[in-house]
Amino acid sequence: MAGPLHELTVAQAGRLFRSRALSPVELTAAYLARIAALDPALNAFIAVTQERALAEARQAEEELGRGHDRGPMHGIPYGLKDIFETADLRTTAQSRLLAAHVPRRDCTVQARLRAGGGVLLGKQSTWEFALGGPSFDLPWPPARNPWDLSRSPLGSSSGAAAAIAAGLCPAATGSDTGGSIRMPAAACGIAGLKPTYGLVSRRGVLPNAYSYDHCGPMAWSAEDCALMLGVMAGYDPEDPGSLDAPPADYAAALARPVRGLRVGVVRHWYEEEVRAEPGVVAGLDAALAVLRDLGCRVADVRLPGLREFGDAKTPITLSELYALHEGDLKRRPDAFGRSLRYRVLAGALVRAEDYVQAQRWRAELTAAVGAVLEEVDLLVTAGSFTAAPSLDPDEPPTFLGAAVPSITGPFNTTGMPALSVCCGYDGAGLPVGMQIAGRPLDEGRVLALGHAFERATAAGRRRPAEAGMQGAPAPADTG
Amino acid sequence: MPEPRPATREEIAVMARLAGLDLSPEHFEELVGAYANLEPMLWRLRRGRDRADEPAHVFDPRKFMPVDPGTGR
């Protein structure tokens, strides 16, 4: 082994398991020790399942030892965002409303990961119901960014991204309604994939907004996301939005050649409509040069404006959110964190006809992006406009997408797969991300380009300094 | 079509009441602040479209048949 255990990728650990150079128990114990040492400052976990993890690791070791191989997640430790329901294990959505919620069944994703031999390390922090945050008025403090504890890992899959970047787990599940996998991935310098809408089951995942919710993998690399997606994806008759699509081999797709791919750069989103920070633009420019060196045909394209996507998304998601939370908002509004309540309340005032018009607009926008994807194979744009922002307990809640439109939300509106990979570091050494998006169910090509990019560049290989993770951030008010 | 004007606090209070919300003064202020961000999005959505333009939600009755969790059928 070339480096420390916590820097192994899923793919590397799997190879070492199968050559008997490493045992799942050894790897799990290493992660548990790091969680105990570093998570008090990071707040990436809401609950750590130590005994269960060691038991699952022992089972994996025994099974692999006798040749019973359950696949690429067998023996691999992972975390679950705390909106993924787990049988007999509290699932809180980081909310006072569900502080005592113990589901009877595993969600489909957890059932698949468990059947695949994965080792559950624990439940990871999120924004309240995957929307309200970062919040200091919830029962659990918000996660902090391991690259700089005074900064946010963004959200809402905050704990997952922070934990992977800090080496507390090699992989985790995330959910993405407007960017909640890709934004934290970009802010923490890791990879995260929002698959095609319906490719990964939402059954048993506490909803944010039904028609925009996606579940997906988060890990250090596109390769690991491919391995994890292969376990997570598949038709689920218990999810009405589930796609009955033929199974795909995402790991095999990584080997597909990228030379000659037509890559459309959506530059006007991050250079005209919103001026991204210089470090982000520099990272993108360097990444596009790498793609050209790989033989891709790179050219700018134009898509509808970011605000147009926001106009379609916000009335739909707000209406669905309000419908979900109406009863609690009327009965016990003070049980909500301020950020979630602020973001949900206005859903009460969206008229039914506005909801339908937004759905018609969503259809038009999806067709418009689809037309551009007839001309190019993949789209590339920034993963965010800035590096990780500061985590300020006194900052008032914001209305998402109002002051600055979302650069991740368009691919939730279209339901198309979008991957965030680290494409560089700004002047302060903070990671910045690049999104790669493709046609519906073209995850293989999206991941192949991400994988080729990661192999061709040093971006994404840095890890945050451990000394920085042991600092003492300002104590959070846990309300 | 006349230029839309922002809803007044009184109009927002009426809409909230019609929605069944009985808000504290603090929560009403939150609603007023949030609606000021939402309202321009709704204005931009309210424009003429072809009658044949279908919304993006498509109903498939097969997706809502009972499923046995044990067998998945």
Residue of A nearest to B19 (CA): A348
Residue of B nearest to A415 (CA): B56
Catalytic residues of A: 81, 156, 180
* C-alpha–C-alpha distance, residues A470 and A208, integer Å: 33
pLDDT reading at A473 higher than 60: no
Containing A158, the helix (H) or strand (E) segment is helix A158-166
Complex ipTM above 0.90? Answer: yes
Work out the angle at residue A325's Cα, subtended by the Cα atoms of residues A320 and A326, and round it to the nearest 5 degrees.
95
- Per-residue confidence at B58, pLDDT binned at 50, 70, 90? confident
CA-nearest of A407, A365, A366, A361 to A384 is A407
Model pTM score: 0.96
Percent of chain A with pLDDT over 90: 93
CA-nearest of A120, A140, A144 to A128 is A140
- Per-residue confidence at A475, pLDDT binned at 50, 70, 90? very low
* Span A286-330, pLDDT tens digits: 999 999 999 999 999 999 999 999 999 999 999 999 999 999 999
Contact (Cβ atoms closer than 8 angstroms) between residue A453 and residue A290: yes
Subunit contact B27:A345, Cβ cutoff 8 A: yes
* C-alpha–C-alpha distance, residues A95 and A79, integer Å: 18
Contact (Cβ atoms closer than 8 angstroms) between residue A199 and residue A171: no
pLDDT reading at A141 higher than 60: yes
The torsion angles phi and psi of A77, rounded to 5 degrees, stand at -70, 145
* Span B13-39, pLDDT tens digits: 999 999 999 999 999 999 999 999 999
Percent of chain A with pLDDT over 70: 98
Q: Please give the pLDDT value at position B1.
A: 64
The CATH classification number of A5-469 equals 3.90.1300.10
A contacts of B34 (beta carbons < 8 Å): 342-343, 345-346, 399
- Per-residue confidence at A471, pLDDT binned at 50, 70, 90? low
B contacts of A399 (beta carbons < 8 Å): 33-34, 37-38
* C-alpha–C-alpha distance, residues A10 and A228, integer Å: 9
Subunit contact B34:A366, Cβ cutoff 8 A: no
Q: Please give the pLDDT value at position B72.
A: 72
Q: Please give the pLDDT value at position A477.
A: 36
Mean pLDDT, residues A389-393 taken together: 95
A contacts of B30 (beta carbons < 8 Å): 338, 341-342, 345
Q: Which residues of A touch B (CB under 8 A)?
A: 105, 211, 236-238, 240-242, 307-308, 310-312, 314-315, 318, 326, 329-330, 333, 338, 341-343, 345-346, 348-351, 354, 356-364, 366, 399, 402
B contacts of A356 (beta carbons < 8 Å): 55
E strands, A403-472, are 418-425, 431-437
Mean pLDDT, residues A24-47 taken together: 98
* Span A96-134, pLDDT tens digits: 999 999 999 999 999 999 999 999 999 999 999 999 999
Q: Could you tell me the residue ranges of all domains in chain A?
A: 5-469
Q: Please give the pLDDT value at position A478.
A: 34
